[in-house]
Amino acid sequence: MLVNYLRYLLSAKTLHHIHSPFVYRLHSQIVLPRKQYYDFELLRQFFRPLTIDKTTISNLGAVEVSKFFFRPTVSAIIQNFEPSQRVAELLYKLVDFLHPQTILVAGCNAGVAIHYLAKGWHKSKLVGIEPCQPLAQLTEKTASAFSQVQILHADWQEGIQTAAQFSPVLDLIWLNTRHAESMYFVWKNCLPILHHQGAAVFHLRCRTSAMEQMWQQIIAEERVRFSIDLWEVGMVFIDNRQPKQHFVLRW
């Protein structure tokens, strides 16, 4: 991971190296500014009790064995799998910028990302897929105030099929599946229903070799025209009117 991070630092560019008007506007107005919205403090207060919640979560599969060596707690799920504060705030600002009508969340965890996405653009219709039943139930509880949010407890294939019935066309996908393999599976199966000007955001977290390999496969996809690597997250945009470009940017 350290080698990959050093490679990122050496290749990451600043605003002065961006020649795409759309990417320049996105990076200068959405990614870089640390503007504090009123909702941010409310959301931090809402999730603060969960950051110290020691309730155990079962049925996480291989992650449970390989990462925790014991049954993980809600607080451990938030610490290890939910987006960091700045990534969560980026999701909020991104949907406020793009105004997507339909959003798919692959990997609900404790519902942090769902809250920031739902608050960022209240007109969006969100569908979340979570294979772990205790986490699906937790997200249903934390997101119960949002009438536009539908949580599905299902495996990835069944969840995508059901989500497509709710939203035949997706404008935005947030991928946070806890495994590179499942993240790529969701991406490939959602790509046919992703809007021709849609976007996807990948939570790359610690950038393991599997995550790095998956990211390289994704940005090589023919339908991906813009891709932005911010290390913690990767963003891809579908727009066949644009030439294919890949940006590695400092954040």
Which CATH number does the domain housing residue 77 bear?
3.40.50.150
pLDDT-derived band at 6, boundaries 50, 70, 90 = confident
Q: Which pLDDT value is given to residue 213? A: 93
Residue 64 has pLDDT above 70, yes or no: no
Rounded to 5°, angle at Cα 130 from 77 and 1: 50
Q: Taking residues 183-206, what's their average pLDDT? A: 94
Residue 191 has pLDDT above 60, yes or no: yes
Where do runs of H (alpha helix) occur along the chain?
2-11, 21-26, 38-47, 62-63, 74-81, 85-98, 112-120, 133-142, 156-166, 180-190, 209-219
Instruction: Please tell me the total count of domains within the chain.
Output: 1
Residue 185 has pLDDT above 80, yes or no: yes
> Is 49 buried (19+), middle (13-18) or exposed (0-12) by CB count in 10 A?
exposed
- Give the range among 42-56, 85-99, 149-163, 236-250 with minimum mean pLDDT: 236-250
pTM of this structure: 0.93
Full residue range of the structural domain in which residue 211 is found: 2-248
Q: 111 near 143, Cβ under 8 Å?
A: yes
**Contacting residues for 110 by C-beta, under 8 A, at least 6 apart:** 47, 50, 74, 77, 78, 82, 135, 138, 139, 142
Q: Which pLDDT value is given to residue 68? A: 52
Residue 61 has pLDDT above 70, yes or no: no
pLDDT-derived band at 66, boundaries 50, 70, 90 = low
Residue 164 has pLDDT above 90, yes or no: yes
Residue 112 has pLDDT above 80, yes or no: yes
